[in-house]
Amino acid sequence: MIRLNDEFIPSSERNRPSGEIANWVALLKHGDPAEQRRAVEELIALNAQAELTGCLHCKDSNVVLLATAGLWECWLNERGESARQMMDEGIELMNAGHLAAAAKIFLGLIKKFPDWAEAINKQATLLYARGEPAESLALCKKVVALKPHHFGAWNGMALCGVQLEDWQTALAAAERALEIQPTAESNLEIVRLAKIKLSGE
């Protein structure tokens, strides 16, 4: 999995009035590059997931990229620093192809934090990589039940639908992902393919 968010790990916890969130969003949308980076770091620290999700609809591709990275950071950070370190280790193992070792970490995190959407999502990603799309799909459904705006899990559902040749699932999931993240090319491609398959062409 390509991670866009490595450079956006907040350096420290910051407590700010929620009224400042709107100012950081405005700076993310209209600031210069340095101001945009600062804004997304502050929004991550404030766990401003709804506002970052809204920024996915911006026409400025850099704002979308930053907001996407910011959301991944929020999701990964939800259970604290120690859990994040374990998650990072699991992701590194998965990316290196050590799927059994990565699964041990992800399943351990799920056992400890059964409602942590991102731990479930990473295990879903691993199952997909291991060639188990039906099992991955089931976990993706759990992720979106916990976090309805998790565009990554909706995309995962769409990819599983393609692998399973379940074109209705692929289409519905890709369309939902596009409602959240309109510029995601992979979902546009899945929508086109699913519509072709469903039309019988």
Q: What are the residues whose beta carbons fall under 8 Å from the beta carbon of 126, sequence distance 6 or more? A: 94, 99, 102, 103, 106
pLDDT band of residue 200 (cuts 50, 70, 90) is confident
First to last CA, the chain: 32
pLDDT, one tens digit per residue, over 90-144 is 999 999 999 999 999 999 999 999 999 999 999 999 999 999 999 999 999 999 9
pLDDT of 6 above 90: no
Q: Determine the pLDDT at residue 44.
A: 96
Long-range contacts at 120-123 (CB < 8 A, ≥ 24 apart): 120/146, 121/75, 121/150, 121/152, 121/153, 121/156, 122/87, 122/90, 122/91, 122/94
Q: Determine the pLDDT at residue 170.
A: 98
Cα-based distances in Å from 94 to 76, 82, 127, 186: 15, 19, 10, 21
Domains of the chain are 6-77 (no CATH), 80-199 (1.25.40.10)
pLDDT band of residue 167 (cuts 50, 70, 90) is very high
Q: What are the phi and psi torsion angles at 9 (to 5°)?
A: -70, 120
Q: What are the residues whose beta carbons fall under 8 Å from the beta carbon of 180, sequence distance 6 or more? A: 53, 56, 149, 151, 154
Q: Determine the pLDDT at residue 15.
A: 53
User: Can you tell me the distance from the alpha carbon of 60 to that of 105, in angstroms, rounded to the nearest whole number?
Assistant: 37
In terms of pLDDT, which residue wins out, 201 or 85?
85
Q: Locate all alpha helices (DSSP H) within the chain, ordered by sequence.
A: 21-30, 33-45, 49-55, 61-77, 80-95, 99-112, 117-129, 133-146, 151-164, 167-180, 185-199
pLDDT of 8 above 50: no
Interval 75-84 mean pLDDT = 96
Entry pTM: 0.89
Interval 186-201 mean pLDDT = 92
pLDDT, one tens digit per residue, over 11-58 is 444 455 556 899 999 999 999 999 999 999 999 999 999 999 999 999
